[in-house]
């Protein structure tokens, strides 16, 4: 039996972004910890080897609630392989002396690129034009829906790393860019060269596109609902590459069907994935499978960072990106 502490990489069974041999993580933990990858069904109980790990690298899915935290015997750190950490009870972990860390910067470029890709697809009507061309048509039926970006306001909710990257990209395309973020330091708008507004309501009122870039929390869960969508400009667009549960999907789909929203680009949806054929048939809707973070380069960066944090935790060194 190995005398080294155990680091477990914990994944839902259907997940395919990692490999059994942990080829990215292994070099960082060689000689420091035994490393094992464990695949679980979403609601399956955690096996004893996970409960006895010194550090857990957690992919999407398995929920580490207060009950699980109480059963962790040697854990020093839970590292969320990604930005969001809402699958971990951070309060319970803090009380147990367990650091909860994330990897907040690995997919900054990819998610910002994806948000702008969804936005451009909506503005330039790429999918309707593609469908028309493949029907052997050439009338450009959607010409009236295509807009000049320089006349449009791109509104950002949450100016963190990804929100800032999206702002710079939107500026490059000629958008007027504004944001709402009550936690952004004073003067942030001057540093980035965009406009700051004092309330979500004001941003909804002035924007032609709303792009969501805030974390999911008790404060932001369901933040964009029926009343917020009603305050958006008729014919505006909604883009979400953050977390699905920030935006209530029923009023979004209703607004798309009524025409109040001209389109929505959603990489994430509430209670994802889409649940019914009716949801999937919603007009002027683009959905992209919670894939905005994806790229081979991003995966290597994320997995390497998680492994480095796990190494520090096992060695009793200071960890970083701690969220609790």
Write out pLDDT tens, residues 41-89: 877 889 999 999 999 999 977 889 999 999 999 999 999 998 888 889 9
Active site residue 74: no
- What rounded mean pLDDT belongs to the chain? 95
Hey, what are 120's tokens?
């451009």
Is CATH 3.30.200.20 the right assignment for the domain spanning 108-287?
no
| Euclidean distance between CA atoms 146 and 129, whole angstroms | 11
* Class of the domain covering 6-106+295-314: alpha beta
* String of DSSP letters for 34-45: EEEEEEE-TTPP
Catalytic residue flag (residue 272): yes
pLDDT tens figures, 95-122:
999 999 999 889 999 999 999 999 999 9
Kindly state the average pLDDT of the residues 4-18.
85
Give the CA distances from residue 230 to residues 223, 236, 258, 259, 293, in Å, rounded to whole numbers and listed in that order: 13, 11, 11, 11, 30
Q: Taking residues 249-257, what's their average pLDDT?
A: 98
Radius of gyration over alpha carbons of the chain, in Å? 22
* Structure confidence by residue, pLDDT tens digits, 273-305: 999 999 999 999 999 999 999 999 999 999 999
| Local structure of residue 259 (DSSP, 8 states) | T
- The per-residue pLDDT for 301 is 95
pLDDT digits (tens, 9 = 90+) for 142-181: 999 999 999 999 999 999 999 999 999 999 999 999 999 9
**Phi, psi of 249, rounded to the nearest 5 degrees:** -75, -35
Mean predicted confidence (pLDDT) in 125-154 = 96
From the list 213, 243, 303, 311, the catalytic residue is 243
Between 80-94, 127-141, 174-188, 260-274, the lowest mean confidence (pLDDT) is in: 80-94
Q: Which pLDDT score, from 0 to 100, does residue 2 have? A: 60
Question: Quick check: 25 and 9 in contact, CB under 8 A?
Answer: yes
Q: Is 109 a catalytic residue?
A: no
- Domain(s) labelled CATH 3.40.50.720 in the chain stretch across 6-106+295-314, 108-287
Please list the residues that pair with 239 across neighbouring strands: 211, 265
**In the predicted structure, residue 227 carries a pLDDT above the cut 90:** yes
DSSP secondary structure of 80-121: ESSS--TTB-HHHHHHTT-EEE--TTTTHHHHHHHHHHHHHH
Name the catalytic one among 34, 195, 202, 272: 272
- Asked whether residue 306 carries a pLDDT value surpassing 80, the answer given is yes
Given 161, 221, 290, 322, which residue is catalytic? 290
Give the mean pLDDT of 12-41. 88
Say what percent of the chain tops pLDDT 90: 88
């Amino acid at each position: 039996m190995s005398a080294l502490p155990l680091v477990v990489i914990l994944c839902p069974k259907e997940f395919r972004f990692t490999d059994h041999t942990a080829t990215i993580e292994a070099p960082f933990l060689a000689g420091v910890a035994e490393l094992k990858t464990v695949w679980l069904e979403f609601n399956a109980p955690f096996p004893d080897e996970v409960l006895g790990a010194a550090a857990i690298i957690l992919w999407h899915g398995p929920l580490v609630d207060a009950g699980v935290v109480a059963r962790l015997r040697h854990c020093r750190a839970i590292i969320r392989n990604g930005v969001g950490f809402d699958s971990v009870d951070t309060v319970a972990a803090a009380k147990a002396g367990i650091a909860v860390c994330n990897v907040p910067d690995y997919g900054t470029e990819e998610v910002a690129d994806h948000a702008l890709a969804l936005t451009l697809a909506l503005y330039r009507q790429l999918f309707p034009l593609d469908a028309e061309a493949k029907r052997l048509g050439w009338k450009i039926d959607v010409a009236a829906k295509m807009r000049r970006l320089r006349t449009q306001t791109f509104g950002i909710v949450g100016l963190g790393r990804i929100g800032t990257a999206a702002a710079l990209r939107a500026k490059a395309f000629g958008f007027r860019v504004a944001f709402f973020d009550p936690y952004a330091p004073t003067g942030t708008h001057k540093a980035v060269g965009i406009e700051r507004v004092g309330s979500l309501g004001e941003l909804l009122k002035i924007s032609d596109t709303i792009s969501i870039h805030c974390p999911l929390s008790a404060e932001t869960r369901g933040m964009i609902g029926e009343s917020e969508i009603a305050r958006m400009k008729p014919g505006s667009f909604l883009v979400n590459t953050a977390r699905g549960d920030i935006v209530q999907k029923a009023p979004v789909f209703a607004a798309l069907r009524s025409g109040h929203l001209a389109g929505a680009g959603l990489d994430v949806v509430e209670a994802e994935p889409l649940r019914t054929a009716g949801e999937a048939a919603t007009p002027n809707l683009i959905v992209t499978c919670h894939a905005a973070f994806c790229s081979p380069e991003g995966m290597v960066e994320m997995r390497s960072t998680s492994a480095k944090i796990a190494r520090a935790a096992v060695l009793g060194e200071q960890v970083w990106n701690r969220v609790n």
